[in-house]
Structure 1
Amino acid sequence: MTTITQTAPAVAASSRPGAGAALRQTMTLAWRSMVQIKHNPMELLDLSVQPIMFLLLFTYVFGGAIAGSTGDYLQFALPGLVAQNMLFASMTTAVGLNVDIAKGVFDRLRSLPISRSAPLAGRIVADTLKQVWAFALFLGLGLVLGFRVHTGIAGVLGALALLLAFALAMSWTAVLVGVTAASMEKVQILMFSLMMPITFTSNAFVATDTMPSWLQKWVEVNPVSHLADAVRGLLGGGPVASDATISLLWAAGIAVVVAPLAVRAFRNRI
C-alpha cells in the first residue's frame, strides 16, 4: 500500500496595513474613544471641573489683588488659563494609556489585524479632540463673566488651532510618561511635577515685569509664555505672528525630540 503524504500549504504572513488602512483604523479607534464618553460621562467631567474651578478662583480671588479689577484680570488671565489647562489636560492621556497597558487593552488590540500604531495614535487624536470641549467651556464661561473677544470667529478658530497643535506635540510627553511609569499614581506625580513649574513660571497669570529680574529671563523664553501671549492676541487683539511662530517652533521641537523616545518606549512596553 502506498502512503500518500499531504503537506499543508504554508500560510503566508499577513502584510502590514498600508498608510490608508492605518489612518482609517486610527480614526475608528479615536471615534471609539470619543463614543465612550456617552457611557462614561466622568471622562468629560474631568475636563470640565478644572476649567470652571480655575477660572472662578483666579478671577474672583486673585483678580482684584493682581489687576485691581476682576474684569481687567479676566481679560488678561483667561488666555493664560486656557494654555495652562491644555497642558494639564495632557495628564489624561498619560493616565489613560498607563491604565490601558496595565489592564491588557493593548495586548488584545495587538491580536487584531490592524496597524500596531493605530491604538496609540487613536488615543492621542481622541484626547486632543476632547480639548475642544475644555476650550469651549473656558470661552463660554469667560463670556458670561465679562470676557470679550475682539477678533471675531477667525481669532477664536486661530486660537483653538494653535492650542490643539501645541497639545498634540505635548501629548508625546504624556505618552512617554504613561508607558514608562510603573503605576497610575507615579504618572500623576511625574506629570504634575512637570506641568506645574512650567505653567506657573510663565506670564500666563501675571505680567513678566512684576517678577524678579532673574526669573524674567526664563519667563521670556518659556513656551507657555509665548503660547499665552499668542492666544491673547488671537482673542483680544494685538501682536500675534511672533509669539505664534515661536509657539509652533516649540511644538515642533518637542515633537521631534520626544516622539521617537515615546514610540520606542511604547514598543518596548507593549
Structure 2
Amino acid sequence: MTVTDQIVEPRSAVDEDAFAVPDRRFKENSLRLLGPHVWVQTQRLLIGLIRDPMTFVFGLALPIFFLVVMNIVLGDAIRALTGHSALYGSVPLVTLIGAMNGASVGILGIVTEHTNGLLARLWVVPVHRASGLIARIISDAVRVMLNSFVLLCVGLLLGLRLEQGLLAGLLWLCVPALFGMAFATMALTIAVYWPNPTLVEAITLVSAVLLFFCTGFVPLDQYPKWIQPVVEHQPLSYATEAMRGLTLGGPVLEPLTGTLVWSAGIFIVCAIPMVIGYRKASMRG
C-alpha cells in the first residue's frame, strides 16, 4: 500500500485541543449556568479591585485616616457629652462612608468597560446575561466586608470593644455589607445611564452631606430641632445606630429595621432601571 492509497483526514492548522469546548447542553441564560458564570465574573472583578490602588485609597487609607483624626479631635468631647467612647459611633460611620466612597471604584470600572467596548464584547459571548450585574454587586459586597473587618480591627486597637459578644460583632459586619450593596446598586444604576467619571465627585458630595448630618458624628440632640427628624431617619443614621447597639448596647431592632427598609427600597426602585440601563449600555458598545 502506497502513501497515496491511505485516506488522509484534513486537519486544522490550529490545535483544537488548545481551546475549551463550550457546554452546549444548556442555553446561555439557563439557571444552571448562572452560578458558574457569576463565579467567574466575580473573580474577574475582585482581581481588578485588588490590582487597583484606588480601592485601597478610597476603601481603607482615607477611612482609617479620617477615623484617627475624628478620634483625636472629637473623642474627648463626645465622651464628656455621652459618657462613652466616640469610637462606638465613629467606627460604624467611617465604615459606612468607606463603603459608599468605595463604590466609586466600581463606577469607574463600568465606565471604563463601557468606553473601551468590553461590555459590548461580553454581551455577545455565551455567558448568562444576568451574571455581569450580579457579579458586580457581589464583588462590591465582598469588598465592603473585607474593608469593614479591617476598620473594625483598627477600632479595636483604638479602644472599641465588642460589649455584646462575638456573634453581635459578626452581625456588625453584615450591616455595612447590606448598606454597601444597596448603595452600589443605586450608583451602578446611575452609572449605566450617565457613564461619566464626574459621578465620583457626586458620590463624594452625597457621602459628605450624610456624614455631617448623622447621629454617628454627634448625638441627635445636638442638632437644631428643625433638622432632627431628617438626621434621625436618614439611612446612615439607622445603620450607625444599629452598629452602635451591636457593640456598645442599646436599641438594635428599630435601627436595623430602618436599615433593611432603606436598603430594600433602594433595591426595589433601582432593580428594573439598572437592568434596562445595563442592557442598553452593553448593546451600544
TM-score > 0.5, shorter chain as reference? yes
Cα distance, 1:117 vs. partner? 2.1
Cα distance, 1:219 vs. partner? 1.0
Higher mean displacement: 77-86 or 136-145: 77-86
- Change in Cα spacing, 1:46 to 1:76, as seen in structure 2 (3 Å) is closer
State the match for 2:205 in structure 1: 193
Cα distance, 1:182 vs. partner? 4.0
- Aligned-residue RMSD, C-alpha: 2.3
User: Structure 2 CA distance, aligned partners of 1:160 and 1:83?
Assistant: 10
Say which of 189, 193, 215 aligns to 1:176: 189
- Structure 1 alignment gaps of length 5 or more: 1-13
User: Structure 2 CA distance, aligned partners of 1:27 and 1:139?
Assistant: 27
State the match for 2:10 in structure 1: none
Cα distance, 1:248 vs. partner? 0.5
State the match for 1:129 in structure 2: 142
Kept in 2: contact 1:63–1:73 (CA 8 A): yes
User: Which structure has the greater CA radius of gyration?
Assistant: 2
State the match for 2:31 in structure 1: 19
State the match for 1:240 in structure 2: 252
After superposition, what is the alpha-carbon deviation per residue over 1:129-163, rounded to whole angstroms, capped at 9, x for unaligned? Answer: 01122111111111111111112220111111222
State the match for 2:13 in structure 1: none
State the match for 2:11 in structure 1: none
After superposition, what is the alpha-carbon deviation per residue over 1:86-121, rounded to whole angstroms, capped at 9, x for unaligned? Answer: 222222222221122112221221221001221222
> Number of aligned pairs?
257
Say which of 107, 110, 123 aligns to 1:94: 107
- Give the TM-score normalised by structure 1: 0.87
State the match for 1:11 in structure 2: none
- Change in Cα spacing, 1:246 to 1:75, as seen in structure 2 (3 Å) is closer
- Change in Cα spacing, 1:55 to 1:41, as seen in structure 2 (3 Å) is same
Q: How does 1:81-160 map to 2 (within 5 A)?
A: 81-160=94-173
State the match for 1:59 in structure 2: 71
- Structure 2 alignment gaps of length 5 or more: 1-25
Cα distance, 1:221 vs. partner? 1.3
- Change in Cα spacing, 1:182 to 1:23, as seen in structure 2 (3 Å) is same
- 1:218 matched to 2:230: yes
Cα distance, 1:42 vs. partner? 5.0
Kept in 2: contact 1:86–1:131 (CA 8 A): yes
State the match for 2:270 in structure 1: 258
Q: Provide the identity percentage.
A: 25
Kept in 2: contact 1:93–1:178 (CA 8 A): no
After superposition, what is the alpha-carbon deviation per residue over 1:181-233, rounded to whole angstroms, capped at 9, x for unaligned? Answer: 2421x211222233322232121211000000011011121111111000011
Q: How does 1:202-217 map to 2 (within 5 A)?
A: 202-217=214-229
- Give the TM-score normalised by structure 2: 0.82
